[in-house]
């Protein structure tokens, strides 16, 4: 596979296409140790491309675990709110996007990537990839409600929700702490499910998607690349 040198460098986050062209003209870029003919020069992905003495290795896809904070939207651009991609340095590649969405007031695990195929598999309704949330809800959650979630709930859609696993972590008359695993992604689904049993979600955090769990060492607004083991296990889970 061949690719234009300026696109190669821009895709790898060295700069914008116009910035990269300036770097090339200023002789700050080498291909296999030699000066390139120009920004339009085609390079193989196996070529050694360097910028200011640093080798820029080609990666077709990148995968990041992001701890989304409340108050930002799961989008690339927004005219009114901070977006999840605003937390990524500008020298990162420009084709990243969030896989799926979390409500603006919901925290937790979000996958950021440029792998459209994986995103499609993860979001496909046919895959039923489980998503697990930690929630603080109003009132006492009972075993009866655990059974209702397990059977599926009417939340105003054509069909009831698919069965969901609700685990009570702590429960008292004022507030309950729970973990909920669902296999769908309906609009405001978690909140609507609790509303269906007379409860209100006070705090919501996604802690897992399939086999991928949020790294507890991350703080809100932080991210890291997925390990090879995490990525392989995650891909296997979405391929089923």
Residues annotated as part of the active site: 103
Distance, in Å, from the CA atom of 116 to the CA atom of 78, rounded to the nearest integer, reads 21
Give the max Cα distance, the chain.
Answer: 73
Q: How far is CA 101 from CA 112, 140, 170, in A?
A: 11, 28, 28
Task: Give the torsion through C-alpha atoms of 161, 164, 170, 172, to 10 deg.
Answer: 30
How many angstroms from the chain centroid is the CA of residue 192?
Answer: 23
Residue identified by tokens 């509303």 is: 195
């Amino acid at each position: 596979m061949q690719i234009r040198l300026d696109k190669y460098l821009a895709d790898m986050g060295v700069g914008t296409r116009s910035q990269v062209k300036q770097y090339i003209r200023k002789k700050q870029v080498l291909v296999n140790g030699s000066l390139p003919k120009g920004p339009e020069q085609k390079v193989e992905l196996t070529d050694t491309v360097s910028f200011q003495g640093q080798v820029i290795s080609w990666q077709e896809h990148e995968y990041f675990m992001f701890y989304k904070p409340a108050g930002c939207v799961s989008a690339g651009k927004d005219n009114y709110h901070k977006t999840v991609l605003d937390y990524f340095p500008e020298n990162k590649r420009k084709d990243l996007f969030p896989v799926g969405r979390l409500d603006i007031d919901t925290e937790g695990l979000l996958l950021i990537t440029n792998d459209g195929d994986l995103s499609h598999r993860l979001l496909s309704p046919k895959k039923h990839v489980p998503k697990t949330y930690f929630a603080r809800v109003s009132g006492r959650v009972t075993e009866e409600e655990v059974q209702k979630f397990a059977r599926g709930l009417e939340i105003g859609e054509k069909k009831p929700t698919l069965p969901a696993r609700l685990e009570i972590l702590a429960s008292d008359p004022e507030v309950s702490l729970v973990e909920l695993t669902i296999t769908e992604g309906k609009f405001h689904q978690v909140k609507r499910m609790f509303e269906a049993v007379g409860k209100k979600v006070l705090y919501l955090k996604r802690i897992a998607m399939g086999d991928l769990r949020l790294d507890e060492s991350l703080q809100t607004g932080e991210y890291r690349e997925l390990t090879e083991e995490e990525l392989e296990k995650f891909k296997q889970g979405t391929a089923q």
